[in-house]
């Protein structure tokens, strides 16, 4: 895990895919590769209502990334310091071993350059003190970017609030 | 020939940098800039037509004239300047589909084509021969050389010297395949030259009906020029006719290819010598506005020794060969000495043998290794029983009472220490005089241009070597409207060099009439096609060998003028064509090998032949043992020579059609998408075994893995208490 985390608050996501577009635009990608993907799960019955949930699938920037181990050329690297996993296009030869190794399907194939692309947490942006493109453009602000310890607070707080709301319920 | 840098590629890269800086802020200009970049890419990738260049120039003008801000105008002006300055090179890329610097990968010409003086697209015609499409092959050849059959028999074939296959085992029989194509296609009668353009009212007179003059005549006639060729001898063909003996090049073959040129309306006037039978004034009155001097080098150098002039029986080699080729088959004598070590000396000696001379000796002042004659011809001469007396210098020719040659007094020689240039000179040994009994002496020590009759061209300048001084790109002399080609310019050279000159002259004469400026760069050989390579297994590609050409049996060779080389059979020719490594597609950059060995650590590609300077061993079969079919080689190949494809449940790697590896594919257990071969999975597992033993046996594709993970993460029923 990198020292950052992209936390996607599924409760607020409307599936607009602005994050996907922003990500592809920033990396100037052709048709095909999706370094981040929004998957619609459902609709399923949740109680008496149909419900679709959107999951946001960027790279998790694993603690021990299999892609980095698999890469024979040293193109796939985990940055010391903040642990961002990214691919160096100069070194990538397009053997796709990282793609085959990743259990989450995070590394993507760019057919135009013949090289792998993936979520690099917009490292140039975060180095400049900005948030990643996806988090910046998110319409409902459901993509949160920060240290993991802060991210868990969001869900915990909401759960606490819901519980507390029940207490004040006038009915 | 190579220029330092390809200006097309340089312009493309420069424009890319300009757009990258972001200095061009106006969206419309930026868009035009990107469009220009795209069109340049088309040119570099061999997808452009003539109109591309016009579009480029007008777009650059638009930027320069209507640019929205200073930056646009600056870019437009610079681009316009670059297009104008290097117009010839840009157009050359479009028209020839070849980049002479070899920097544009898709336009890198094959070494054989670049080496051929006439610039024939060898890989294309070889591929056509391999498919049995002989007439199309001949069309490809005749676009650059109107003598495919002649050159298929007697070319010096420098292409084969550069043939890349020669670094692996033996070069492709490029020359013989040309001969087969011409023979088959002429025999079947389904080849015809393109219809010449209608007469354009312009008349060109060519002096000399040799390979250079006739080549120019052919290309001029196709363009609609009225061409008259003057020939002083009774038969056309020049040295092809009277310099090369029948056992190498039968007369009928020369006649046939000349007849094809006459069929285009070219008028060949034999027995007509300029200055004797007609003159320049008269020709001008007849409407000839341009002249091409293509008189060849038909004068022999003299030995400059005593007795040479006085004794009868001293016959210069070219005179002798001319006499025999024009039908005089009388023997020069029982014992003949030929002086010299070049091809003409060998031709003369072998001709003597066929005329019934008992004893033919070649006297050469250096050694076997230094003979300028073709090794193959020397060997054949030896087989036929020609004697060689090396390190022998004729000093004096002695006549008998009647003034006929009786003996040659010779000196033995030794080779000196190599001088600064590495050349060893023959030094006579003192007191080594000895007599050799002969009836005739044939000096064959070189030829020069016979300039009689050319005096009317007052402003034509001559060099010290008695050749016509020309601009070697346009073949134009110092006199306007007068051009010169062939041996008259180069001194004694080869047919294919004469053809190259004739082609250049035709282009220059056309430009002269059109009032266009003459080119500044030598012509770039033209790519006539990009045929699919032959699909074949690696082991067959490896194991095929250069075919052995049948030759006439030696006894018959010694007494007749029958053709010695009997040519390749159709079967041999087609098989030989498949041995070609297709250097018009694979440009031998070596990226595939580097990536496989250095980046992937697989080392499955052993293509040592790719390196020109340090060729290593080549083993096409080893790839199947080691290759994991990762596809990195194919992904990084700039010309699609290396290709990886999935077909019928297998993944197949081919290099220019040669199948290097083939493995069964594995599929995603969820959606059935292709995962790659098991050996690829093994490679992967080996790399991550340390950190993830669980991956072994994973059979999910990229998409399914991602979807599965996302479903696991979806909080359909989040524990929110509601």
B487 and B541 both lie in a single domain: no
Question: What is the model's pLDDT at position B65?
Answer: 87
- B721 pLDDT band (50/70/90 cuts)? very low
Dig out the tokens for B469 from the structure. 């001084």
Q: How far, in Å, CA of B332 to CA of B22, rounded?
A: 83
At B77, phi and psi to the nearest 5? Answer: -65, -45
Q: How far is CA B144 from the centre of its chain?
A: 10
B475 and B402 both lie in a single domain: no
User: Looking at chain B, how many residues does it have?
Assistant: 722
* pLDDT 10s digits, B352-382: 999 999 999 999 999 999 999 999 899 999 9
| CB within 8 Å: B707 and A39 | yes
Query: For A12-21, A96-105, B169-178, B194-203, which range has the lowest pLDDT when averaged over its residues?
Result: A96-105
3-state helix, strand, coil in chain A (%, to 5): 30, 25, 45
Tokens 């020839």 label which residue? B96
Give the gap in angstroms from C-alpha B606 to the nearest C-alpha of chain A.
Answer: 19
B317 and B438 both lie in a single domain: yes
Residue contacts between A and B (CB atoms, under 8 Å): 118
B603 and B678 both lie in a single domain: yes
Contacts of residue B53, Cβ cutoff 8 Å, sequence gap at least 6:
B43, B83, B87, B90, B91, B94
- Domains of chain A listed by start with CATH number: 5-168 (3.30.70.20)
Contacts of residue B113, Cβ cutoff 8 Å, sequence gap at least 6:
B98, B119, B120, B121, B122, B123, B159, B525, B527, B584
B427 and B322 both lie in a single domain: yes
Q: Which residue among A55, A114, A166 places its CB closest to the CB of B714?
A: A55
- Tell me which residue of B178, B184, B298 sits closest to B232, measured CA to CA: B298
* pLDDT 10s digits, B658-668: 999 999 988 88
3-class secondary-structure state, position B437: strand
**In the predicted structure, residue B715 carries a pLDDT above the cut 80:** no
Q: How far, in Å, CA of B418 to CA of B369, rounded?
A: 14
Contacts of residue B272, Cβ cutoff 8 Å, sequence gap at least 6:
B230, B231, B232, B278
Kindly state whether B135 is in contact with chain A, defined as any CB-CB distance less than 8 angstroms. Answer: no
At A4, phi and psi to the nearest 5? Answer: -115, 165
Question: What is the model's pLDDT at position B722?
Answer: 39
Strand duo B405-415 + B426-428: pairing: antiparallel
Which of B43, B75, B106 is the last residue before a domain boundary?
A: B106
**In the predicted structure, residue B52 carries a pLDDT above the cut 50:** yes
B649: in domain:
yes
Helix (H) or strand (E) holding B137: helix B134-142
**In the predicted structure, residue B46 carries a pLDDT above the cut 60:** yes
- Tell me which residue of B651, B661, B674 sits closest to B602, measured CA to CA: B661
- Partnered with residue A55 across adjacent β-strands are A39
Q: What is the CA radius of gyration of chain B?
A: 32
B716: in domain:
no
Question: What is the model's pLDDT at position A9?
Answer: 81
Helix (H) or strand (E) holding B473: none
- Partnered with residue B644 across adjacent β-strands are B653
Dig out the tokens for A95 from the structure. 């053997």
Looking at this predicted complex, what is its ipTM?
0.81
Question: Do B384 and B356 meet the contact criterion of CB atoms below 8 Å apart?
Answer: no
Q: How far, in Å, CA of B72 to CA of B61, rounded?
A: 11
Tokens 């420069």 label which residue? B14
* pLDDT 10s digits, B601-622: 889 999 988 888 888 888 999 9
B122: in domain:
yes
Question: Do B91 and B53 meet the contact criterion of CB atoms below 8 Å apart?
Answer: yes
B268 and B280 both lie in a single domain: yes
The residue of chain B nearest to residue A42, with distances taken between CA atoms, is: B716
Q: How far, in Å, CA of B232 to CA of B242, rounded?
A: 12
For residue B23, give the CATH number of its domain: 1.20.1440
pTM of the model: 0.88
**Distances in whole angstroms, Cα of residue B658 to Cα of each of B3, B132, B170, B318, B533:** 33, 19, 18, 48, 8
Counted domains in chain B = 5
| CB within 8 Å: B715 and A10 | yes
B338: in domain:
yes
Dig out the tokens for B463 from the structure. 């060099």
Dig out the tokens for B349 from the structure. 């000696």
For residue B480, give the CATH number of its domain: 3.50.50.60
Which of B420, B445, B470 is the last residue before a domain boundary?
A: B445
At B65, phi and psi to the nearest 5? Answer: -90, -35
DSSP B281-309: HHHHHTTEEEEEE-----EEPP---BTTT
Q: How far, in Å, CA of B340 to CA of B388, rounded?
A: 10
Q: How far, in Å, CA of A158 to CA of B639, rounded?
A: 57
**In the predicted structure, residue B75 carries a pLDDT above the cut 70:** yes
**In the predicted structure, residue B538 carries a pLDDT above the cut 70:** yes
Average pLDDT over residues B495-524: 91
Question: Do B389 and B362 meet the contact criterion of CB atoms below 8 Å apart?
Answer: yes
Q: Which of B644, B670, B689, B691 to mutate to test the interface with A (most CBs of A within 10 A)?
A: B691
Print the domain residue range for B166: 111-192+532-578
B100: in domain:
yes
* pLDDT 10s digits, B287-343: 999 999 999 999 999 999 998 988 899 999 999 999 999 999 999 999 999 999 999
* pLDDT 10s digits, A74-95: 999 998 888 899 999 999 999 8
**In the predicted structure, residue B716 carries a pLDDT above the cut 60:** no
B306 and B413 both lie in a single domain: yes
**In the predicted structure, residue B275 carries a pLDDT above the cut 90:** no
B166 and B81 both lie in a single domain: no
Question: What is the model's pLDDT at position B485?
Answer: 95
Query: For A158-162, B20-24, B323-327, which range has the lowest pLDDT when averaged over its residues?
Result: A158-162
- Residues of chain B above pLDDT 90, percent: 69
Question: What is the model's pLDDT at position B676?
Answer: 83
B526: in domain:
no
Average pLDDT over residues A96-124: 89
B357 and B428 both lie in a single domain: yes
B720: in domain:
no
CB atoms closer than 10 angstroms to residue B338: 30
| CB within 8 Å: B600 and A95 | yes
Q: Which of B635, B682, B696, B704 to mutate to test the interface with A (most CBs of A within 10 A)?
A: B635
**In the predicted structure, residue B70 carries a pLDDT above the cut 60:** yes
Helix (H) or strand (E) holding B557: helix B554-559
Q: Please, where are the H alpha helices in B189-340?
A: 211-222, 239-242, 251-262, 280-285, 317-325
- B700 pLDDT band (50/70/90 cuts)? confident
HSE, side-chain direction, 13 A CA sphere, residue B249: 28
SS (H, E, C) B659-714: EEEEEEEEECCCCCCEEEEHHHHHHHHHHHCCCCHHHCCCCCCHHHHHHHHHHHHC
Q: pLDDT: is B437 or A153 the higher one?
A: B437
| CB within 8 Å: B716 and A42 | yes
Which of B514, B546, B563 is the last residue before a domain boundary?
A: B514
Strand duo B434-437 + B405-415: pairing: antiparallel
At B442, phi and psi to the nearest 5? Answer: -120, 100
Average pLDDT over residues A97-117: 89
Tokens 């053997």 label which residue? A95
Q: What is the CA radius of gyration of chain A?
A: 18
Question: What is the model's pLDDT at position B693?
Answer: 61
Please measure the distance between the N-terminal and C-terminal CA atoms of chain B and give it in whole angstroms.
81
- A171 pLDDT band (50/70/90 cuts)? very low
Average pLDDT over residues B428-454: 92
Question: What is the model's pLDDT at position B685?
Answer: 83
3-class secondary-structure state, position B90: helix
Strand duo B606-607 + B674-677: pairing: unpaired
Cβ-Cβ contacts under 8 Å, B675 against chain A: 100
* pLDDT 10s digits, B218-245: 999 999 999 999 999 999 999 999 999 9
DSSP character for A24?
A: H
| CB within 8 Å: A70 and B684 | yes
Question: What is the model's pLDDT at position B140?
Answer: 95
Average pLDDT, chain B: 90
CB atoms closer than 10 angstroms to residue B369: 9
Asked if the peptide bond before residue A43 counts as cis, ω within 30 degrees of 0, the response is yes
- Partnered with residue A108 across adjacent β-strands are A117
Query: For A56-65, B246-255, B386-395, B405-414, which range has the lowest pLDDT when averaged over its residues?
Result: A56-65
| Window A:135-164, CB contacts with B under 8 Å | 158-159, 162-163
* pLDDT 10s digits, B550-585: 999 999 999 999 999 999 999 999 999 999 999 999
**In the predicted structure, residue B497 carries a pLDDT above the cut 50:** yes
Kindly state whether B715 is in contact with chain A, defined as any CB-CB distance less than 8 angstroms. Answer: yes
B324 and B433 both lie in a single domain: yes
For residue B565, give the CATH number of its domain: 1.10.1060.10
**In the predicted structure, residue B82 carries a pLDDT above the cut 80:** yes
Measure the CA angle with vertex B82, ends B80 and B86; round to 5°.
120
DSSP character for B145?
A: -
Strand duo B387-389 + B359-363: pairing: parallel
- Tell me which residue of A95, A93, A60 sits closest to B687, measured CA to CA: A95
- Tell me which residue of B268, B319, B298, B321 sits closest to B451, measured CA to CA: B298
- A168 pLDDT band (50/70/90 cuts)? low
Cβ-Cβ contacts under 8 Å, B714 against chain A: 10, 39, 41-42, 53, 55
Average pLDDT over residues B160-177: 94
- A104 pLDDT band (50/70/90 cuts)? confident
| CB within 8 Å: A73 and B721 | no
Question: What is the model's pLDDT at position B712?
Answer: 74
B721: in domain:
no
B95 and B181 both lie in a single domain: no
Q: How far, in Å, CA of B487 to CA of B497, rounded?
A: 9
User: Looking at chain A, how many residues does it have?
Assistant: 171
DSSP character for B599?
A: I
3-class secondary-structure state, position A78: strand
Question: What is the model's pLDDT at position B695?
Answer: 54
B36 and B171 both lie in a single domain: no
Give the gap in angstroms from C-alpha B671 to the nearest C-alpha of chain A.
Answer: 15
3-class secondary-structure state, position A27: coil
């Amino acid at each position: 895990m990198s020292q950052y985390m992209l936390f996607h608050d599924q409760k607020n996501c409307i599936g607009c895919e602005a994050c996907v577009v922003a990500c592809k635009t920033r990396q100037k990608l052709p048709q095909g590769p999706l370094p981040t993907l929004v998957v619609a799960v459902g609709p399923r019955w949740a109680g008496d209502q149909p419900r679709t949930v959107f999951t946001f699938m960027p790279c998790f920037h694993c603690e021990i990334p299999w892609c980095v181990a698999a890469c024979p050329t040293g193109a796939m690297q985990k940055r010391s310091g903040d642990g961002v996993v990214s691919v160096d296009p100069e070194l990538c030869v397009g053997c796709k071993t990282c793609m085959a190794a990743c259990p989450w399907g995070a590394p993507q194939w760019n057919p135009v350059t013949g090289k792998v692309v993936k979520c690099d947490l917009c490292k140039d942006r975060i180095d400049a003190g900005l948030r990643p493109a996806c988090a910046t453009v998110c319409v409902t602000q459901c993509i949160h970017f920060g240290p993991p310890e802060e991210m868990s607070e969001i869900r915990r707080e909401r759960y606490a609030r819901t519980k507390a709301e029940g207490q004040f319920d006038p009915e | 020939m190579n220029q330092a840098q390809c200006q097309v590629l340089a312009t493309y890269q420069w424009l890319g940098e300009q757009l990258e800086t972001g200095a061009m802020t106006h969206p419309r200009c930026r868009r035009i800039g990107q469009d220009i970049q795209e069109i340049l890419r088309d040119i570099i990738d061999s997808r452009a037509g003539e109109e591309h260049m016009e579009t480029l120039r007008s777009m650059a003008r638009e930027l320069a004239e209507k640019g929205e801000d200073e930056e646009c105008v600056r870019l437009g002006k610079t681009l316009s300047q670059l297009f104008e300055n290097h117009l010839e090179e840009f157009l050359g890329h479009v028209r020839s589909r070849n980049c002479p610097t070899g920097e544009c990968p898709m336009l890198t010409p094959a070494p054989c084509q670049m080496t051929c003086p006439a610039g024939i697209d060898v890989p294309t015609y070889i591929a056509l021969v391999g498919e049995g499409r002989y007439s199309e092959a001949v069309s490809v050849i005749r676009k650059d050389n109107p003598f495919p059959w002649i050159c298929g028999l007697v070319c010096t074939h420098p292409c084969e010297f550069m043939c890349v296959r020669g670094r692996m085992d033996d070069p492709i029989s490029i020359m013989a395949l040309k001969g087969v194509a011409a023979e088959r296609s002429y025999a079947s009668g389904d080849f015809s030259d393109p219809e010449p353009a209608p007469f354009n009212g312009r008349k060109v007179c060519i002096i000399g009906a040799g390979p250079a003059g006739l080549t120019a005549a052919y290309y001029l006639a196709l363009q609609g020029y009225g061409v008259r060729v003057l020939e002083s001898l009774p038969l056309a063909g020049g040295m092809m006719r009277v310099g090369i003996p029948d056992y190498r090049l039968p007369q009928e073959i020369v006649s046939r290819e000349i007849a094809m040129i006459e069929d285009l309306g070219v008028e060949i006037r034999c027995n007509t010598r300029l200055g004797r039978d007609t003159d320049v004034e008269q020709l001008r009155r007849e409407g000839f506005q341009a002249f091409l001097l293509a008189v060849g080098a038909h004068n022999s150098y003299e030995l400059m020794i005593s007795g040479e002039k006085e004794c009868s029986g001293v016959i210069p080699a070219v005179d002798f060969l001319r006499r025999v080729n024009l039908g005089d088959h009388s023997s020069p004598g029982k014992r003949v000495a030929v002086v010299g070590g070049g091809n003409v000396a060998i031709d003369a000696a072998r001709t003597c043998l066929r005329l019934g001379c008992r004893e033919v000796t070649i006297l050469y002042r250096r050694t076997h290794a230094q003979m300028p004659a073709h090794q193959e011809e020397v060997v054949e001469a030896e087989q036929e029983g020609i004697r060689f007396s090396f390190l022998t210098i004729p000093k004096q020719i002695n006549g008998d009472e009647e003034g006929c040659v009786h003996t040659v007094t010779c000196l033995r020689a030794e080779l000196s220490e190599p001088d600064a240039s590495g050349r060893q000179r023959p030094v006579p040994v003192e007191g080594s005089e000895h007599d050799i009994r002969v009836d005739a002496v044939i000096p064959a020590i070189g030829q020069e241009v016979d300039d009689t009759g050319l005096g009317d061209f007052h402003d034509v300048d001559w060099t010290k070597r008695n050749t016509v001084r020309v601009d070697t790109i346009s073949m134009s002399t110092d006199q306007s409207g007068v051009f010169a080609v062939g041996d008259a310019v180069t001194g004694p050279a080869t047919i294919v060099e004469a053809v190259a000159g004739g082609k250049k002259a035709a282009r220059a004469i056309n430009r002269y009439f059109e009032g266009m400026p003459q080119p500044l760069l030598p012509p770039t050989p033209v790519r006539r096609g990009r045929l699919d390579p032959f699909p074949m297994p690696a082991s067959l590609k490896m194991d095929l060998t250069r075919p052995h050409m049948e030759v006439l049996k030696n006894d018959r060779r010694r007494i007749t003028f029958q053709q010695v080389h009997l040519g390749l059979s159709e079967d041999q020719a087609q098989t030989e064509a498949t041995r070609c490594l297709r250097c018009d597609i694979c440009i031998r950059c070596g990226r595939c090998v580097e990536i496989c060995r250095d980046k992937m650590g697989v080392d499955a590609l052993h293509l040592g032949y790719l390196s020109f300077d340090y060729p290593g061993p080549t083993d096409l079969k080893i790839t199947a043992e080691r290759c994991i079919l990762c596809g990195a080689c194919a992904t990084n190949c700039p010309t699609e020579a290396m290709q990886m494809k999935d077909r019928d449940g297998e993944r197949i790697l081919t290099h220019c059609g040669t199948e290097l590896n083939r493995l069964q594919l594995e599929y995603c257990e969820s959606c059935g998408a292709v995962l790659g071969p098991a050996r690829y999975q093994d490679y992967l597992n080996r790399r991550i075994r340390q950190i993830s033993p669980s991956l072994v046996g994973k059979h999910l594709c990229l998409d399914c893995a991602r979807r599965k993970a996302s479903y696991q993460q979806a909080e359909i029923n989040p524990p929110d208490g509601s």
